[in-house]
Amino acid sequence: MSPPSISTLSFFLLLASSCSSAVSADGHDDFIQCLSRQSNYSSLSNDVYTPANSSYTSILQSTIRNTRFASESTPKPQVIITPEHESQIPPVISCARQTGLEIRTRSGGHDMEGLSYVSQVPFAIIDMVNLSEVTVNVDEKTAWIEAGATTGTVYYRIAEKSHVLAFPGAICTTVGVSGHFSGGGYGPLMRKHGLAGDNVVDARIIDANGRILDRESMGEDLFWAIRGGGGASFGVITAWKVQLVDVPETVTVFSVIRPLDQNSTELVQRWQYVAPEADKDLFVGVYLFRVNSTIQANLFSLFLGRADRLLPLMQETFPELGLAREEVREMSWVQSTLFLNQGQQEPLEVLLNRTQPGLRQLKTRSDYVQTPMREDGFNGIVRMLSEPEADETLIYIVPYGGRMNEIPESATPFPHRAGNLYMIASLVYWQDSEARDAERYLSWSRRYNSYMTPYVSSSPRQAYFNYRDLEIGVNNPNGKTSYAEASVWGKPYYKDNFDRLVKVKTVIDPTNFFKNEQSIPPLHSKWT
């Protein structure tokens, strides 16, 4: 999830180069020639873009969300394919295998290390932007969602059919659903209904052999793997069937800002005792950020009920916040998705917008806290936020508990369940104009990471897969990583579920066609 941009006026504004010719012209031509020989190429030809096409650059850049990976020196794909039907994808996979191109699949482009549109080896992008239909069945309380849809589109289409159905997806409404769902996918309904991946009931995936599989034909092991283990390791996911959840007709939200200083972080320190233990209907997250020289805490909330229930609950459990009636708003659930992302509740059509303003360079890290941090721990974070390199940094804290404590950590590959009080993530931003100083910001991120070591989980130090961090472990650009090497980052993301993911990968993709720097490796004897 990418939060809004920060500004002093409104917090909610917070929320083909030389490398592109790494493949020879012959290799590029071979792929196009292979595609042209396919029986359905006439239907796909208008959706194939090479650097010779005038639209190539705009399509490539359309969903890049981290401008660290938008420079001229960033490796570019040889080909971008934007299929309009899943039947067009198997020939792309076949031709990529025949001609040695790696496949990267992109749905929304929010991946923190750009792996859906960057590779150090010859590659093509399958961009799912044209596969974005959402079909809601109110009677069944389900929806089929194509992989290129955004979470905002999902929320909007649900609300078109019902005011009392919802889906527990991301706060950020421009996130592509496929990466979000396949990495687990948290959001403000997680304490009541679990993750997005927990609510997936079927899916369609195309494997390395070009077979189009649903839940029945793929089998339960692969279906388990793609609901938290990352879809890019196993195939190209084209659609998800999800179970919708019930919500009240009226919910209550708030977003309040309280100033902090280096010796006064009692409010946030107290939050960590309240939010994970709160009623399942209540989600209260925290942003920490700097405005000028002041460190501020933004506490934001979704409550599945009316204000007359929320206010007494907050007074009883969290009086330190001093929440006032004029600071809360009642609205529909779909309005709350817009409010929590952009601080507004109308017009709802904004949810259909795939673009994201205020893009800049970014480095993200995540951790899980299992024992409440001491106040001096938070004081240290505040001191670090006061440093020059942290002028646009956001510390983002998400409470667990509730339903998250009830789902076994082996139910899906996402293992961060009972025993975790909250996730804490750092999002270090800097402007493109400061690109030459990127190492200063990356160095700050590493120092922050080191500072947090005593306060977060260990053995392994856990991390959220959708906040991928290529500085965890050894990353082979060609994806040919041994089990031992991959476990260095695999265990933090998946804990013991990593071993089962490797077994699934070995069965479904033994030749390791679908791979990237942190993909699940198949288990081969020569790698052990």
The string of DSSP codes covering 343-408 is: S----GGGGG----SS--EEEEEEEEE-SPPPHHHHHHHHHHHTSGGGTT-EEEEEE--GGGGTS-
Strand partners, 525: none
d(CA 226, CA 197): 8
- The secondary structure of 445-458 as a DSSP string is HHHHHHHHGGGS--
Amino acid at 333: W
467 assigned to active site: yes
**CA distances to 150, 236, 424 from 343, in Å:** 19, 35, 22
Task: Evaluate whether 136 touches 153 at the Cβ level (below 8 Å).
Answer: no
Residue 189 and residue 511: Cα distance in Å, rounded?
39
DSSP string, 157-195: HHHHH-SSEE----SSTT-BHHHHHHT----TTHHHH--
For 93: left if phi > 0, alpha if psi spans -120 to 50, otherwise beta; the answer is alpha
CA-nearest of 261, 263, 304, 265 to 282 is 304
Q: Before 83, cis peptide (omega within 30)?
A: no
Please name the residue that has the structure tokens 């873009």: 49
Say which of 455, 467, 493, 494 is annotated catalytic.
467
Distance CA 304, CA 283 (A): 9
C-alpha distance from residue 149 to each of 138, 341, 358, 514 (Å): 19, 17, 21, 22
Closest CA to 327 of 269, 265, 258, 400: 258
What is the number of helices (H) and of strands (E) in the chain?
16, 18
- Report, as residue numbers or ranges, the catalytic residues: 467
